[in-house]
Amino acid sequence: MSRRRIGAIFRKELREYRRNRSLVVGMAIIPLVFLAQPLVSVFALPASASAQLAHRHELLYLLAIPALAPGLMAAYSVVGERQQGTLEPVLTTPIRREELLLGKALAVFLPSLAVSYAVYALFLACTALFASPGVAPALIRVPDIVAQVIFTPLIAGWSIWLAIGISTRASEVRVAQQLSMLASLPSVAVTSLIAFDVIPASLRLAAALGVVLLILDRVGWRLTSAMFDRERLIVGTK
Amino acid sequence: MAFEDVSFELGYGEVFGFLGPNGAGKTTTVRTLGTLIAPTSGSATVAGVRLTPENGMEIRRRISIMPEAPGLYLRLSVLENLQCFADLYGVPDVRERIEQALRSVNLAERAHDLCGTLSKGLRQRVALARALLSDPEVLFLDEPTSGLDPLATRDVHELIAALGSGGVTIFLTTHRLEEAERLCDRVAILNTTLRTVGRPEDLRDRLFAKSLTVRTRAPLAEPGRIFGGLPAVESWSADGAAAYVVAVSDAGVAAPAVTRALVQAGADVLSIGESRHSLEDIYLELIDEDVEAGRRGR
């Protein structure tokens, strides 16, 4: 594995994403949608509701952001290059497919992480400043914040590998993005069910989910690399 | 099957033309030699390395391919495109090498332009600079002038000629025969199978009988008597009212004899010269043979 080659892909992807307005807008909309809903419901809570919040983990609902937002960009990464005709020149260089995919994944992972943490911070700040008295201390709990910090990269990683895997097999960017969104829904469902206390949150559950996600992230990279078929991507059939 | 029964060798520093009609398998050959497509059978050695799945990286390290479409990142500048590829090839002294590559394609002053703002011809030049970054042992150019206007085509031709004379081994696929004739030391003609390979002048000798073309002011009264029995003259035929094609075994011997015989016969000679068959004639002769064979096969 060459850090230089991974770095080259990473920097190139970041520059491309930064200058691709439609991707940036798409990437911005999802966090805003997922920020608006919980903020509205938190602002609507009266001070007397703080007791009922003991079993709710509103903050975890925001884990939908790392589940959905990176998928849009990651789904574009391979099929988008293929459609632009830029994939073939890259594949003629001495880059390994694992390096190419890792560079691409990192270029989605880091901005997704930054956006997710920024939205959490905004949510916490707004709740602390504008929610009714007593609501903020009831909602903002250290275990939730720790879970948020730990699970954000794990969930984002899984979504990214899913989307890149789909992107290596899809024939169009839009199809890849739609399928990636669909594939990310189970992660959203699980975090939402925990957030609304349908699945009770516990340390054991958190540890189990963390291990599962770690394994999925590792397997995702290997599996996606195995699915990456130079010949099929160049010729278009096989 | 994209191509079969293709066998050839390239010498170091040679500019080798790979000609064929659309669908003949030129691009597939380049992709196969460039390790992008696995061959179903056969063997090859590219830049001294055997073409096997395990050697893919080593081969890609030694060669460079400029695909038919430049495939540049249009939202990135020329410099950013080249920086990315310099890192992918592990090029040392990146800045120096990029400057050198840009200078060799006369694009040094456009380094900071976004590739999306460049004309098709300039993009092709950037793609050529990108292919030169790694100082490849073999440079594959797949239809480098496809879709370019005559001016841009001339520029690219000049660049390729300069590279060729600079000692770079070039494998050039094209269906533009004048391009191959102008740039290549040797050519191969492919039409799914390899039809022929050699220097254009050798191919001419192999495929066409040597001949002289004679033009006179008026038709000759007795051409058979004039051309018959002359040294190195094998046969003759009329090619219009006052033009004759004289088949010869040695033009250097036949031409003076034919000239003397015409003057002695009182003919007003307008021109006499060796018939020159272009690469296009060779190409068409071979492809027509294939078309004819196909017809007979049906």
All structural domains of chain A with their residue ranges: 3-235
Q: Is the pLDDT of residue B83 over 60?
A: yes
Which chain A residues are Cβ-neighbours of B87 within 8 angstroms?
Answer: 4-5, 7-8
Contact B209, B273 (CB under 8 A): no
Mean pLDDT of B169-174: 90
Cβ <8 Å between A92 and B65: yes
For B190-235, write each residue's pLDDT tens digit: 877 777 888 877 777 776 778 889 999 999 888 888 888 888 888 8
Sort out which chain A residues have CB atoms less than 8 A from B73's CB and list them: 12, 15-16, 84, 86
User: Tens place of pLDDT for every residue, chain A, 238 residues?
Assistant: 899 999 999 999 999 988 888 878 877 888 888 888 888 888 887 777 766 766 677 777 788 888 888 888 899 899 999 988 899 999 999 999 999 999 999 999 999 999 889 988 888 888 888 877 877 787 788 888 888 888 899 999 999 999 999 999 888 889 999 999 898 888 888 888 887 778 887 888 888 888 998 998 888 888 888 888 888 888 875 4
- Tell me how close the Cα of B76 comes to any Cα of chain A, in angstroms: 7
Q: Tell me, yes or no, if B123 comes closer than 8 A to chain A by beta carbon.
A: no
The three-point CA angle B61-B65-B71 to 5° equals: 120
Q: Residues B87, B90, B91, CA angle at the centre, nearest 5°? A: 90
pTM over 0.90: no
Per-residue model confidence (pLDDT) at position A155: 92
Q: What are the φ and ψ backbone dihedral angles of A86, each rounded to 5 degrees?
A: -95, -5
Nearest by CB to residue B87, choosing from A5, A92, A234, is: A5
**Mean pLDDT, residues B36-61 taken together:** 88
pLDDT band at B167 (very low <50, low <70, confident <90, very high): confident
3 state SS of B180: helix
10 Å Cβ neighbour count for B30? 25
For residue range B127-143, list pLDDT tens digits in order. Answer: 989 998 988 989 999 98
Region B287-293: mean pLDDT is: 72
Q: Are B246 and B236 in contact (CB under 8 A)?
A: yes
Least confident interval from A22-26, B5-9, B149-153, B294-298: B294-298
- Helices A142-169 and A97-130 cross at an angle (nearest 10°) of 140
Whether residues B88 and A96 touch (CB distance < 8 A) is answered with no
Residue B39 CB neighbour total at 10 angstroms: 16
Give the pairing type, strands B169-174 and B138-142.
parallel
Plot region of A96 (φ>0 → left; ψ -120 to 50 → alpha; else → beta): beta
Contacts of B210 (CB under 8 A, 6+ apart): B247, B248, B249, B250, B251, B274, B275
Question: What is the average pLDDT value for chain B, to the nearest integer?
Answer: 85
Contact B87 A230 (CB under 8 A): no
Cβ neighbourhood burial of B124 (10 Å; 0-12, 13-18, 19+): buried
Please say whether the beta carbons of A153 and A113 come within 8 A. yes
Is residue B86 pLDDT above 50, yes or no?
yes
Percent of chain B with pLDDT over 70: 96
| A218–B contact, CB cutoff 8 A | no
Counted across chains A and B, CB pairs separated by less than 8 A come out at: 82
Residue B248 pairs with which residues in a beta bridge?
B233
Contact B76, A17 (CB under 8 A): no
Find the closest chain B residue to A97 by CA distance.
B57
Q: Could you tell me the sign of the dihedral formed by the alpha carbons of B36, A17, A21, A155, in that order?
A: positive
Of all residues in chain B, the one with the smallest CA distance to A232 is: B37
Task: Tell me what pLDDT residue B252 has.
Answer: 85
Q: Distance (Å) from the C-alpha of residue A227 to the closest C-alpha of chain B?
A: 16
- Find all residues with CB under 8 Å of A71, minimum gap 6, and list them: A159, A160, A162, A163, A177, A180, A181, A183, A184
Q: What is the pairing mode between strands B45-46 and B211-216?
A: unpaired
Identify the band that residue B1 occupies on the pLDDT scale cut at 50, 70 and 90. Answer: low
